[in-house]
Amino acid sequence: MAARTVIEVSDVRKRYRLGVIDRSLVTDELAAAFARLRGKPDPRGDIHAVGGDQRAGDQFWALRNVSFNVAQGEVLGLIGRNGAGKSTLLKLLSRITLPTAGRIRMKGRVSSLLEVGTGFHPELTGRENIYLNGAIMGMRRAEIDGLLDEIIAFSGIEHHIDTPIKRYSSGMKVRLGFAVAAHLDPDILVVDEVLAVGDAEFQRRCLGRMRSVADSGRTIIFVSHNMFSVQSLCTRAIWLDKGEVRADDSVVTVVRDYLNECSAQTNEQVWTDADAPGTDEVRLMAIRAISADAEGLFSTTAAITIELDLQNHAITDFDLNIQLIVHTDSDIVAFISDMTESIGTAIWPVGANVVRCTIPSDLLNDGGYRISVLFQRKGNRHFLVQDAISIDVQEGPRRGAWFQKWQGALRPALHWVR
Amino acid sequence: MSDPMSGSGPLTQKKPMAVTVYTPASALRDPGLMLRSMFADLRASRELAWRLAQRDIKAQYRQSLLGYLWAFIMPLSTTLAWVYLNSSGIVKVTSTGMPYPIYVLTGTMLWQMFTEALQTPLGQLSASKNLLAKLKFPREALILSGIIKWSFNAGVKMLIIIPALFILGGSPDIHILLVPIILLAILLIGTAIGLFIAPIGLLYTDVGRLIPVVLQFAMYVTPVVFAMPADGFAAKLFRINFMTPVIVNGRAWLVGMEGSMLQEMALICAAASVLLFLGWVLFRTTMSVLIERMSA
């Protein structure tokens, strides 16, 4: 069978405007609306004026020049870090928002599952909510009638099906929501990270259901942070990075490259005057992680100092704050540390400055952490250096008898008393 | 787990797959296509609209003690307040041509229906922000379900007001069969204006708060609690007010009197129909941008 193209994404871009909406005047909005009507570019900004930077003025390019095709029956995984543009792309594919430029062509009935149980009402019973949720997702009454028993059985909550769902646990609600979604019959299914909820047994069933949907010739686009489920479900993967397609290949290749980059150690980053991130007021010239360990190893039992070299060009007031944002490998924010919370405000001499922040020993867990640096002026975001460095923390000498991986974003040594 | 080929229907039984193309180009550039898709979406949204209306009506009455009586409490309390003001001489209302309690009750009832119809589109959209950001469905379903809910509540009000009229000494007659025309007119005008307010109100929340203030003022230049002034500046305001003929006729038919200002009312309804259509076009063209602003 010749593979038919069912999704065609050509040169799609999506721009968001940063800041608060009320900054715009009604007259600006009208001028923009008339320009769109006549097919002219938006007078508020020229979309072709974008260089290599994702951010231009108060505009943010969530997607840039994204193009790909998907053949019927293909199961495509979308991977990438937080903020890479995955959610934006899903919203476009689900037709919730429109692209700023470019074109998306889809063949067949599209269902999207960005959340389970959308529209559920707590006062209604499980059965009533099945009909409601089904209708919202585009199922006809007769269709739901025919599938009702199957849906209830799949959810596994037969006994409570006539109870108002406000008495359900959150797990039961998720199961009911997925049970309805699992019985949709689309040609193209767009799924966001909805499997991250529920217990292991239920996740296994969801994954199995999606595989059987894929096996019956339907096209699936699947977004997940969980590389295991991406690899077990998808045949092909697209890696989105800063709004662009970084790689588009077989799932094995793309996931391998992605994981390699995620774990690539960059304990130090140094910039030149020309490419240092920042503004005309202040720039980050270098950032490095230094271990207190004698051999310089990053381990759970050694303190780690984060050192920042700043170049202050023009700040003469008190108003500069720096935050370290520490993410784990699984994209959870482990913690945020705020400079002024610790040392208060100060006048910064113009020229080179060094700031240090020490992460104590026995706080981080073993595993990878990524550190982003946020500069704030007047309480607002000045600029952000995302994932400036990453550190790979090794297991220190263990106390106790547990030799498997400890759960948790952190592993602080806490004080117990008896 | 069910067999994928028998469980939910194999691909082969489908009609040829529809192709959807979406680009940033405005839908207004192809009016024919836009018109077709507007009515196609309206048709497709009927079932969902019913479901949503059912959900809200059920939930609304499941949680309340007084249930359907709530539809009647607001106009009743207004009536009592104005009957007190009038009988105590604090406010002197000129002759209304019928017992004053009946005049106020019918007036406030019809006026409340109008304010509800006007606020329904914005209310529906704000209550469904999450739904709009998470799923693609015919957006018309939200407006339509608001209309269904409004009609249900209007029906409840009618069921209560008719016995109330008899109790207050009125004598409704065959004219009452004409009242549905008034209800339709109120729904039409209210929804038409509401559709224009909704996109603005979604972006700027203070607009939502401004509406009751404006409506409060508008009530006093409509023959709701006052009789039509005979002359002066107030009379002019009452006359250019497009709700005056609707309220006047609605009240007349409710209490068994001949209608007046019928031509004006027909004209206003025609204008409201055009406005309703334009409001619908505005609603469709602004929706995707609004959703983005609300959720991004």
CB atoms A187 and B14 under 8 Å: yes
Predicted pLDDT at A104: 92
Give the domain extent around B188. Answer: 32-295
| Nearest residue to B149 via CA among B246, B61, B72 | B61
- Residue ranges of domains in chain A: 1-109+186-264, 268-393
Dist. CA B133–CA A118, nearest whole Å: 10
pLDDT for residue B274: 97
Are the beta carbons of A118 and B131 separated by less than 8 Å?
Answer: yes
pLDDT for res B61: 78
Residue A264 confidence (pLDDT) above 50: yes
Which residues in chain B are closer than 8 Å to A106, comparing Cβ atoms? 19-21
The model's pLDDT over B33-44, given as tens digits with 9 standing for 90+, comes to 889 989 999 998
Distance from CA of A118 to the nearest CA of B (A): 6
> How confident is the model at residue B14, as a pLDDT?
45
Contact A110 B19 (CB under 8 A): no
Which whole number is the average pLDDT over B224-231? 81
Distance CA B292, CA A94 (A): 13
B7, B59, B204 member nearest A123 (Cβ):
B59
Q: Which of the pair, A132 or A396, is modelled with greater confidence?
A: A132
Question: What's residue A37's pLDDT?
Answer: 62
In a domain, B10, yes or no: no
Over residues A30-41, mean pLDDT:
61
The answer, yes or no, to whether residue A362 has pLDDT greater than 70, is yes
The torsion angles phi and psi of A276, rounded to 5 degrees, stand at -65, 135
Test A209 with B58 for CB contact under 8 angstroms.
no
Identify the pLDDT of residue B247. Answer: 93
What superfamily in CATH does domain A1-109+186-264 come from?
P-loop containing nucleotide triphosphate hydrolases (3.40.50.300)
Quick one: tokens of A173?
A: 């609600």
Burial label, A228 (beta-carbon count in 10 A; 0-12, 13-18, 19+): exposed
Nearest residue in chain B measured CA to CA from A97: B288
Question: Between residues 196 and 215 of chain B, which touch chain A (CB distance below 8 Å)?
Answer: 203-204
Q: A 110-129 residues with CB below 8 A of B?
A: 110, 112, 114-115, 118-119, 121, 123-124, 128
pLDDT at A20: 43
The pLDDT tens digits for B126-170 are 999 888 888 889 999 999 999 999 999 999 888 888 888 888 888
Say if the Cβ atoms of B11 and A217 lie within 8 Å: yes
The confidence score (pLDDT) of residue A404 equals 52
Q: What is the dihedral of CA A182, A190, A116, A157, to 10 degrees?
A: 10
How many Å lie between the alpha carbon of B126 and the closest alpha carbon of chain A? 13
Chain B residues inside the 8 Å CB shell of A141: 47
Stated pTM of the model: 0.72
Burial class (CB in 10 A: 0-12, 13-18, 19+), B63: exposed
C-alpha distance from B241 to closest chain A C-alpha (Å): 28
In this prediction, residue A49 carries a pLDDT of: 38
For A172-209, the pLDDT digits (tens) are 888 898 889 888 888 899 988 766 555 667 777 777 88
Say if B13 falls within a structural domain. Answer: no
- pLDDT-derived band at B185 (thresholds 50, 70, 90) equals very high
Enumerate the residues of chain A whose CB falls inside 8 A of the CB of residue B59. 121, 123-124
Q: What is the mean pLDDT of chain A?
A: 82
Fold of A268-393: Coagulation Factor XIII; Chain A, domain 1 (2.70.50)
Q: Does A273 reach chain B within 8 Å, measured CB to CB?
A: no
Q: State whether residue A136 sits within 8 Å of chain B by CB.
A: yes
Q: Which pLDDT belongs to residue A198?
A: 58
B positions 49-68 inside 8 Å of A (CB): 51-52, 55, 58-59, 62-63
Residue A23 has pLDDT above 50, yes or no: no
Lowest mean pLDDT among A275-279, B72-76, B182-186: B72-76
Classified as helix, coil or strand, A193 is coil
Predicted-complex ipTM score: 0.78
Counted domains in chain B: 1
Mean pLDDT computed over A233-239? 93
Interface contact B17-A6, CB threshold 8 A: yes
The proportion of chain A whose per-residue pLDDT surpasses 90, expressed as a percent, equals 32
Residue A30 amino acid letter: L
Sequence letter at residue B244? T
Out of A396-400, B55-59, B106-110, B131-135, give the one with best mean pLDDT: B106-110
The pLDDT assigned to B289 comes to 82
What's the pLDDT score for residue A3?
67
Does the CB of A201 have a partner CB in chain B at under 8 Å? no
Residue B23 included in any domain: no
